[in-house]
């Protein structure tokens, strides 16, 4: 992938770690499903033009990586698993930034399920309109 110039390899990794994104889906029945994902993005690109020709067009800024994660999460109109979100994100990066190789893990909190309901009863106590954390 990278061009070699006088023994130097100009392949460079651009990393943005721990991008936390939360997404809420609301159903017609009044239930709210909340997920939290943690994404670490690693893009590998041939950046020889940046060093030799003052051309940074092959480099993706870390803020762009972070904002892309937020934008793609917002575009998810239906309830989505962490695996499907990772697939959608990977498809976007490799189609829009053809000059990079993509590697990123996406994590979710498996113990965390948040449910927002208009009314809910637990042990004879009513939590009306409160956020309930289920572990």
Residue range 4-109 in CATH 3.30.1130.10: yes
86 SS3 class: helix
Q: Which of 59, 133, 54 is nearest to 100 (CA)?
A: 59
Domain-by-domain residue ranges, the chain? 4-109
pLDDT at 51: 75
Check residues 130 and 60 and name the one with the higher pLDDT: 60
At 35-84, the pLDDT tens digits run 888 999 988 887 777 777 888 877 888 899 999 999 999 998 888 888 88
pLDDT at 92: 92
pLDDT at 67: 95
| pTM of the shown model | 0.71
Q: Based on the number of CB atoms within 10 Å of its own CB, is 85 exposed (0-12), middle (13-18) or buried (19 or more)?
A: buried
Check residues 115 and 15 and name the one with the higher pLDDT: 15
């Amino acid at each position: 992938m990278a061009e070699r110039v006088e023994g130097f390899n100009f392949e460079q990794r651009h990393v943005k770690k721990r991008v936390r994104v939360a997404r809420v889906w609301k159903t017609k029945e009044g239930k709210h499903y909340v997920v939290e994902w943690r994404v670490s993005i690693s893009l590998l690109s041939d950046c020889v033009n940046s060093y030799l020709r003052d051309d940074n067009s092959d480099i993706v800024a870390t803020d762009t990586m972070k904002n892309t994660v937020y934008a793609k999460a917002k575009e998810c109109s239906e309830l989505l698993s962490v695996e499907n979100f990772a697939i959608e994100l990977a498809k976007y990066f490799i189609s829009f930034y053809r000059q990079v190789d993509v590697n990123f893990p996406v994590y979710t909190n498996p113990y965390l399920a948040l449910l927002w309901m208009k009314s809910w009863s637990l042990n004879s106590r009513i939590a009306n309109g409160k956020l309930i954390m289920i572990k």
